[in-house]
Amino acid sequence: IERVATALDEILTRVGRIRCKILLETTAGQGTSLGARLEELHEIRRRVRARSQVGFCVDTCHVFAAGYELRTRDAYERFWAEFDRIVGRKHLHALHLNDSKGDVGAHLDRHAHIGQGKLGLEAFRLIMNDRRLLGIPMVIETPKGPDMQEDIANLQTLRSLRPSKGTQSRG
Protein backbone atom coordinates (compact mmCIF):
# COMPACT_ATOMS: atom_id res chain seq x y z
CA ILE A 1 0.00 0.00 0.00
CA GLU A 2 2.80 2.39 0.89
CA ARG A 3 4.65 1.69 -2.39
CA VAL A 4 1.51 2.40 -4.42
CA ALA A 5 0.87 5.65 -2.54
CA THR A 6 4.50 6.72 -3.02
CA ALA A 7 4.31 5.96 -6.75
CA LEU A 8 1.10 7.98 -7.04
CA ASP A 9 2.76 10.89 -5.25
CA GLU A 10 5.62 10.77 -7.74
CA ILE A 11 3.28 10.63 -10.73
CA LEU A 12 1.20 13.52 -9.46
CA THR A 13 4.35 15.55 -8.76
CA ARG A 14 5.61 14.93 -12.31
CA VAL A 15 2.37 16.03 -13.96
CA GLY A 16 2.60 19.22 -11.93
CA ARG A 17 -0.06 21.74 -12.74
CA ILE A 18 -1.85 19.51 -15.22
CA ARG A 19 -5.26 18.88 -13.72
CA CYS A 20 -5.86 15.18 -13.69
CA LYS A 21 -7.50 12.65 -11.45
CA ILE A 22 -6.14 9.16 -10.98
CA LEU A 23 -8.84 6.57 -10.36
CA LEU A 24 -8.10 3.49 -8.30
CA GLU A 25 -10.19 0.60 -9.60
CA THR A 26 -11.61 -2.17 -7.49
CA THR A 27 -10.07 -5.57 -8.20
CA ALA A 28 -11.37 -9.13 -8.02
CA GLY A 29 -8.80 -10.09 -5.39
CA GLN A 30 -6.89 -12.48 -7.59
CA GLY A 31 -3.33 -13.32 -6.61
CA THR A 32 -1.47 -10.62 -4.75
CA SER A 33 -3.27 -7.61 -6.18
CA LEU A 34 -4.50 -4.78 -3.99
CA GLY A 35 -7.95 -3.27 -4.25
CA ALA A 36 -10.34 -6.13 -3.60
CA ARG A 37 -11.25 -4.62 -0.23
CA LEU A 38 -12.54 -1.09 -0.03
CA GLU A 39 -10.34 -0.54 3.01
CA GLU A 40 -7.23 -1.08 0.85
CA LEU A 41 -8.32 1.51 -1.69
CA HIS A 42 -9.16 3.98 1.09
CA GLU A 43 -5.77 3.45 2.71
CA ILE A 44 -3.90 4.05 -0.55
CA ARG A 45 -5.78 7.32 -1.12
CA ARG A 46 -5.29 8.36 2.52
CA ARG A 47 -1.51 8.06 2.16
CA VAL A 48 -1.27 10.11 -1.05
CA ARG A 49 -0.28 13.73 -0.40
CA ALA A 50 -2.45 15.13 -3.23
CA ARG A 51 -5.43 12.96 -2.31
CA SER A 52 -7.85 15.39 -3.96
CA GLN A 53 -6.43 14.09 -7.25
CA VAL A 54 -7.23 10.46 -6.43
CA GLY A 55 -10.68 8.94 -6.81
CA PHE A 56 -12.27 5.56 -7.40
CA CYS A 57 -13.73 3.43 -10.17
CA VAL A 58 -16.06 0.57 -9.25
CA ASP A 59 -15.92 -2.40 -11.62
CA THR A 60 -19.07 -4.50 -11.16
CA CYS A 61 -17.40 -7.82 -12.01
CA HIS A 62 -14.47 -7.06 -9.71
CA VAL A 63 -16.48 -6.11 -6.63
CA PHE A 64 -18.74 -9.14 -7.11
CA ALA A 65 -15.76 -11.47 -7.56
CA ALA A 66 -14.15 -9.90 -4.48
CA GLY A 67 -17.15 -10.93 -2.40
CA TYR A 68 -19.51 -7.96 -2.48
CA GLU A 69 -23.03 -9.17 -3.23
CA LEU A 70 -25.07 -6.93 -5.57
CA ARG A 71 -27.89 -9.16 -6.82
CA THR A 72 -30.65 -8.05 -4.45
CA ARG A 73 -31.77 -4.58 -3.42
CA ASP A 74 -30.71 -5.18 0.20
CA ALA A 75 -27.26 -6.43 -0.81
CA TYR A 76 -26.87 -3.60 -3.32
CA GLU A 77 -27.76 -1.02 -0.66
CA ARG A 78 -25.34 -2.65 1.82
CA PHE A 79 -22.52 -2.43 -0.72
CA TRP A 80 -23.10 1.26 -1.41
CA ALA A 81 -23.50 2.05 2.30
CA GLU A 82 -20.17 0.34 2.94
CA PHE A 83 -18.57 2.12 -0.01
CA ASP A 84 -19.83 5.47 1.28
CA ARG A 85 -18.69 4.74 4.85
CA ILE A 86 -15.20 3.55 3.88
CA VAL A 87 -14.16 5.59 0.83
CA GLY A 88 -16.98 8.10 0.35
CA ARG A 89 -19.35 8.20 -2.59
CA LYS A 90 -18.13 11.72 -3.40
CA HIS A 91 -14.86 10.09 -4.50
CA LEU A 92 -16.57 7.78 -7.02
CA HIS A 93 -15.75 9.02 -10.52
CA ALA A 94 -16.48 6.05 -12.82
CA LEU A 95 -18.18 2.69 -13.09
CA HIS A 96 -17.12 -0.22 -15.28
CA LEU A 97 -20.21 -2.23 -16.15
CA ASN A 98 -19.72 -5.91 -16.82
CA ASP A 99 -21.22 -9.18 -15.67
CA SER A 100 -19.08 -11.87 -14.06
CA LYS A 101 -18.30 -15.37 -15.28
CA GLY A 102 -17.40 -16.34 -11.71
CA ASP A 103 -19.62 -16.41 -8.65
CA VAL A 104 -19.58 -13.97 -5.76
CA GLY A 105 -16.31 -14.22 -3.85
CA ALA A 106 -14.62 -16.43 -6.47
CA HIS A 107 -11.81 -13.87 -7.05
CA LEU A 108 -12.11 -14.59 -10.77
CA ASP A 109 -11.57 -11.58 -13.05
CA ARG A 110 -13.56 -12.79 -16.06
CA HIS A 111 -15.97 -10.31 -17.56
CA ALA A 112 -19.21 -11.41 -19.19
CA HIS A 113 -21.85 -9.59 -21.22
CA ILE A 114 -24.53 -7.74 -19.27
CA GLY A 115 -27.08 -10.22 -17.90
CA GLN A 116 -25.18 -13.26 -19.16
CA GLY A 117 -23.11 -13.98 -16.08
CA LYS A 118 -23.51 -14.72 -12.39
CA LEU A 119 -24.46 -11.14 -11.52
CA GLY A 120 -27.53 -11.26 -13.72
CA LEU A 121 -29.84 -8.47 -14.81
CA GLU A 122 -31.16 -7.39 -11.40
CA ALA A 123 -27.82 -5.89 -10.30
CA PHE A 124 -27.72 -3.82 -13.48
CA ARG A 125 -31.37 -2.83 -13.10
CA LEU A 126 -30.49 -1.46 -9.66
CA ILE A 127 -27.50 0.45 -11.05
CA MET A 128 -29.38 1.88 -14.02
CA ASN A 129 -32.19 3.11 -11.77
CA ASP A 130 -30.06 4.55 -8.98
CA ARG A 131 -30.35 8.35 -9.05
CA ARG A 132 -27.30 8.57 -6.80
CA LEU A 133 -25.21 7.42 -9.78
CA LEU A 134 -26.50 10.06 -12.19
CA GLY A 135 -23.58 11.95 -13.69
CA ILE A 136 -21.07 9.17 -12.96
CA PRO A 137 -19.52 7.96 -16.23
CA MET A 138 -20.32 4.31 -16.91
CA VAL A 139 -18.16 2.31 -19.31
CA ILE A 140 -19.23 -1.02 -20.78
CA GLU A 141 -16.20 -3.25 -20.27
CA THR A 142 -17.20 -6.60 -21.73
CA PRO A 143 -15.65 -9.01 -24.26
CA LYS A 144 -15.36 -7.38 -27.71
CA GLY A 145 -15.68 -8.70 -31.22
CA PRO A 146 -14.23 -7.04 -34.34
CA ASP A 147 -17.41 -5.12 -35.20
CA MET A 148 -18.39 -3.92 -31.69
CA GLN A 149 -21.85 -5.48 -32.01
CA GLU A 150 -21.46 -6.76 -28.45
CA ASP A 151 -21.24 -3.19 -27.14
CA ILE A 152 -24.41 -2.27 -29.02
CA ALA A 153 -26.24 -5.28 -27.57
CA ASN A 154 -24.96 -4.55 -24.04
CA LEU A 155 -26.00 -0.90 -24.34
CA GLN A 156 -29.45 -1.94 -25.52
CA THR A 157 -29.75 -4.32 -22.56
CA LEU A 158 -28.74 -1.58 -20.11
CA ARG A 159 -31.15 0.91 -21.66
CA SER A 160 -33.98 -1.63 -21.43
CA LEU A 161 -33.48 -1.74 -17.66
CA ARG A 162 -34.15 1.97 -17.20
CA PRO A 163 -37.62 3.10 -16.25
CA SER A 164 -39.80 5.38 -18.23
CA LYS A 165 -39.40 9.07 -17.34
CA GLY A 166 -40.48 10.05 -13.87
CA THR A 167 -40.18 6.63 -12.25
CA GLN A 168 -36.49 6.54 -11.33
CA SER A 169 -35.85 5.17 -7.86
CA ARG A 170 -33.46 6.32 -5.17
CA GLY A 171 -31.45 3.15 -5.48
pLDDT digit string (tens) for 74-96?
A: 999 999 999 999 999 999 999 99
State the pLDDT at residue 166.
53
> 24 φ, ψ to 5°?
-90, 125
Chain-centroid distance of CA 85 in Å reads: 16
Burial environment of residue 31 by CB neighbours within 10 A (0 to 12, 13 to 18, 19 or more): exposed
Strands 99-100 and 22-25, bridge-based pairing? unpaired
Residue-range domains of the chain with CATH:
2-160 (3.20.20.150)
Rounded to two decimals, the pTM is: 0.91
CB atoms closer than 10 angstroms to residue 49:
13
pLDDT at position 17:
75
How high is the mean pLDDT in each 10-residue block of the chain (171 residues)?
94 85 93 90 95 96 97 98 97 98 96 97 98 97 92 96 64 53
Q: CA distances (Å), 39 to each of 12, 14, 27, 143, in order?
A: 22, 27, 12, 29
pLDDT of residue 82: 98
DSSP 53-97: GEEEEEEHHHHHHTT---SSHHHHHHHHHHHHHHT-GGGEEEEEE
Q: Return the pLDDT at 164.
A: 61
